[in-house]
């Protein structure tokens, strides 16, 4: 795939060598031209010419080294010029569209959140997507020539090669050629990925997955999904549907899931499933704090608050959801044996109940042939995880991460 960047900003990563050099600088900065030649096995004149071009394009900056051998010339050291260029990241879900402008190191310099109240038609969704990017470009007042690309983390089934949203169940929309539409509108390179996989890519670049080659990012919100990273690359499968942990069956006789099957994990542990259970059960337990609450007061936050105040019903609802999540996570661990599981979502942030239940079940149900150290952590990217994932789609193209990661 060619990665043609907008003319006028710079001519783009014309060669693999150029992005290789850029990636070595990112991983090893500050670094001299001579050291780059050593790491990449490129000749010093080739490195010099590639670096000069990167400096001219403002992607790399030079600084004088503070230390030098006695009498020797101080080498010029190179660093990535992170704040000279920008990336736009969009997270498009059923209930929210968030569009950010970041520097190359993921600092959000402009943030635009639109809450979605009603389900949009395809045309309205596309207009909203375009308008949100126009708004960020106009209001942030950055020179469009300094923007490297637009990444879109889209809810639902996505074909990342074609940049098409194939089907978005929560939006009830299908076949949206996002890449084609947005590239046509903004004349910038566009990358599109499923939101949960984009999140895993963001975790590997900015979050708890940094420096971890194999991990699973388990995401719980309206639905439940996972991003599987194997050897530093997100795994998609030939069908672009890998990681649908929400639709693994945890009880054959369980409640009906939105997908039509019975007993899926999502029917037990998604936010929606937990809220439904809360509404249902609170009616039958007059002694519970939840019983006194009006329907519009029942929320994930109020459930955790009641559990923190020692309410038995609240604790049992959280414990049950945590156990089902833990069973699904343990099954995944038995198959993939990742070194880390990263938990992402509101239900992991409000209190320890669900996290502890997941840890307990993974410990209990994971087959161990030898001592294994699988860590379970909560994401520290918070609500910005998805948009940073979208931004990382572009960063990964610019820096061509891959075989050089271990250098």
**Contact residues for Zn ion (CB under 5 A)?**
247, 257, 259, 261, 264
Q: Residue 90 or 257: which CB sits closer to Zn ion? A: 257
CA distance 256 to 263: 6
305 to 33, 325, 345, 350: CA distances (angstroms) = 56, 21, 17, 8
Q: Report the nearest approach of Zn ion to the CB of residue 224 (Å).
A: 9
Helix (H) or strand (E) holding 342: strand 340-344
Query: Which residues, in sequence order, are CB contacts of 294 under 8 Å at separation 6+?
Result: none
Cβ neighbours around 15 below 10 Å, total = 12
Q: Residue 379 burial (CB < 10 Å; 0-12/13-18/19+)?
A: buried
CA distance 361 to 10: 52
Structure-derived torsion over alpha carbons of residues 251, 256, 261, 262, reported in degrees to the nearest 10:
20
Please provide the DSSP assignment of 296-331 as one string: GG--HHHHHHHHHTT-HHHHHHHHHHHHHHHHHHHH
Q: Report the nearest approach of Zn ion to the CB of residue 324 (Å).
A: 13
Q: Residue 126 or 264: which CB sits closer to Zn ion? A: 264
Q: Residue 254 or 402: which CB sits closer to Zn ion? A: 254
Q: Report the nearest approach of Zn ion to the CB of residue 328 (Å).
A: 12
Q: Report the nearest approach of Zn ion to the CB of residue 248 (Å).
A: 8
The number of residues making up the chain comes to: 407
Q: Report the nearest approach of Zn ion to the CB of residue 270 (Å).
A: 10
Q: Residue 169 or 402: which CB sits closer to Zn ion? A: 169
Q: Report the nearest approach of Zn ion to the CB of residue 92 (Å).
A: 22
CB 273 within 8 A of CB 266: yes
Q: Residue 196 or 390: which CB sits closer to Zn ion? A: 196
CA distance 56 to 201: 29
Q: Residue 203 or 244: which CB sits closer to Zn ion? A: 244
CA distance 154 to 168: 8
Helices (H), 41-140: 44-56, 122-140
Q: Residue 251 or 299: which CB sits closer to Zn ion? A: 251
Q: Report the nearest approach of Zn ion to the CB of residue 221 (Å).
A: 15
Q: Report the nearest approach of Zn ion to the CB of residue 266 (Å).
A: 5
CA distance 60 to 53: 9
Q: Residue 174 or 255: which CB sits closer to Zn ion? A: 255
Residue 220 DSSP SS3:
strand
Q: Residue 197 or 247: which CB sits closer to Zn ion? A: 247
Q: Report the nearest approach of Zn ion to the CB of residue 75 (Å).
A: 58
């Amino acid at each position: 795939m060619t990665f043609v960047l907008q003319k006028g900003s710079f001519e783009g990563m014309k060669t693999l060598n150029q992005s290789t050099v850029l990636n070595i600088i990112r991983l090893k900065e500050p670094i001299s031209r001579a050291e780059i030649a050593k790491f990449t096995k490129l000749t010093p004149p080739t490195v010099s010419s590639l670096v000069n071009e990167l400096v001219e394009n403002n992607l790399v900056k030079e600084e004088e080294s503070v230390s030098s051998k006695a009498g020797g010339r101080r080498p010029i050291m190179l660093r990535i010029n992170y704040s000279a260029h920008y990336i736009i990241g969009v997270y498009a879900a059923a209930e929210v569209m968030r569009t950010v402008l970041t520097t190359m190191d993921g600092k959000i310099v402009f943030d635009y959140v639109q809450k979605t109240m009603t389900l949009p038609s395809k045309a309205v969704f596309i207009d909203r997507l375009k308008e949100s990017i126009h708004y960020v470009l106009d209001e942030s007042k950055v020179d469009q020539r300094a923007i490297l690309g637009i990444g879109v983390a889209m809810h639902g089934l996505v074909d990342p090669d074609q940049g098409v949203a194939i089907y978005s169940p929560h939006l009830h929309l299908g076949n949206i050629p996002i890449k084609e539409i947005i590239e046509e509108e903004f004349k910038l390179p566009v990358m599109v990925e499923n939101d949960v996989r984009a999140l895993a890519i963001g975790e590997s670049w900015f979050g708890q997955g940094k420096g971890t080659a194999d991990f699973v990012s388990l995401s719980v919100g309206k639905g439940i999904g996972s991003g599987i990273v194997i050897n530093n690359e997100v795994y998609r499968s030939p069908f672009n549907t890998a990681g649908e942990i929400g639709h693994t069956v945890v009880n054959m006789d369980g409640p009906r899931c939105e997908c039509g099957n019975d007993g899926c994990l999502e029917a037990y542990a998604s936010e929606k499933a937990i809220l439904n259970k809360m509404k249902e059960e609170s009616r039958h337990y007059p002694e519970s704090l939840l019983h006194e609450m009006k329907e519009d007061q029942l929320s994930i936050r109020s459930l955790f608050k009641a559990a923190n105040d020692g309410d038995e019903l609240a604790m049992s609802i959280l414990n049950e959801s945590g156990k089902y999540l833990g069973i699904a996570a343990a099954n995944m661990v038995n198959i993939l044996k990742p070194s880390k599981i990263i938990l992402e979502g509101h239900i992991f942030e409000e209190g320890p109940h669900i996290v502890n239940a997941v840890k307990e079940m993974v410990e209990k149900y994971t087959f161990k042939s030898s001592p294994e150290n699988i860590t379970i952590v909560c994401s520290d990217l918070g609500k910005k995880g998805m948009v940073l994932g979208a931004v990382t789609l572009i960063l990964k193209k610019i820096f061509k991460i891959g075989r050089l990661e271990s250098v």
